[in-house]
Amino acid sequence: MKSFIVLIIIYLSVHLTSQQDTISNKYKIIAEAYGDLNADGIEEKVSVLETIEKSESGNIRLIQIYRYMDGKWTVWHSSDKAILKYQKDIMMSDPFDGIKIDHDTLLIYFSGGSSWKWSYTDRYRFQNNQFELIGYTSNYFKLCEYWLTVDYNLST
């Protein structure tokens, strides 16, 4: 009986450890944020993932928004278009600067440049049963010489 239990434990330990998280096999998490995105008083989780999959212009990036349901995080919304790709063979750095949840909105930050620099922020809100772009702020500048800021409010 003891040997039977030992065999079951060995079998389960081998098979349970061989199952790997699909995110760790296919994606690398590069940013996460938590906050209420739909004004229901319950936090959602937002993850930005970089896929192993390649494209002509760099690794594909994915943003996923999760809701906590039945004791686990479940994908609620997803997009592979909202996050700029990182091209490792170019001189500039990664354009993705991060994400933040503020006042029921999702902010996505990007920046780049060398002597002349740029940055922009996309602001999304959950409305009409989907995430809609409600704002865009763009900066184009050269330190101590030139600065241009453009801010669009798309929700009014």
Q: In this predicted model, what pLDDT tens digit does every residue of 109-134 receive, in sequence order?
A: 999 988 899 999 999 999 999 999 99
> Cα–Cα distance between 80 and 26 in angstroms, integer?
14
Min mean pLDDT across 5-14, 56-65, 71-80, 89-98 is at 5-14
**What pLDDT, on the 0 to 100 scale, is given for residue 17?**
41
| Count of C-beta atoms within a 10 Å radius of residue 33 | 20
Cut 0.75: pTM above it: yes
Helix (H/G/I), strand (E/B), else coil: 84: coil
**What pLDDT, on the 0 to 100 scale, is given for residue 144?**
92
Which conformational region is residue 129 in: left (phi greater than 0), alpha (psi within -120 to 50 degrees), or beta? Answer: left
The count of residues in the chain is: 156
In this structure, what token pair is assigned to residue 60? 């594909």
More confident residue, 22 or 44: 44
Question: In this model, does residue 96 exceed pLDDT 60?
Answer: yes
Question: In terms of DSSP bridges, do strands 58-69 and 44-55 run parallel, antiparallel, or are they unpaired?
Answer: antiparallel
